[in-house]
Amino acid sequence: IKNASSRSSISSSYHQIPPTCFEIIRSIPGNNTCIDCGASNPDWATVSYGALICMICAGRHRSLGVNCSKVRSLTMDHWNVNQILTMLEGGNKQLRDFF
């Protein structure tokens, strides 16, 4: 029981993205451009879809509400483990190919 409770507290605590994870997220195919508009080097993410977006599109996503798209900054916000894993498993190319 102790391990289960410590795992849940780790996954629910928030931290900045570790530098190695940040580099991996940026290197995932398609993540060099915004999934919505194609702008270069997006610094925001829609955790709901595991994709990177630019600041302008992040504002649009935020206006949709968290029930549609949860938006976080790669550099300014804090992330929990599950959100980081979502980004590591996703990617803009993978999302484009899916839709």
* Mean pLDDT to the nearest integer, 76-80: 96
Give the pLDDT score at 87: 96
Give the separation between CA 72 and CA 59, rounded to whole angstroms.
11
Give the pLDDT score at 44: 97
pTM of the predicted protein model = 0.84
Give the pLDDT score at 67: 85
pLDDT in tens, 18-54: 999 999 999 999 999 999 999 999 999 999 999 999 9
Give the pLDDT score at 6: 52
State whether the Cα torsion 44-77-26-9 is positive or negative: negative
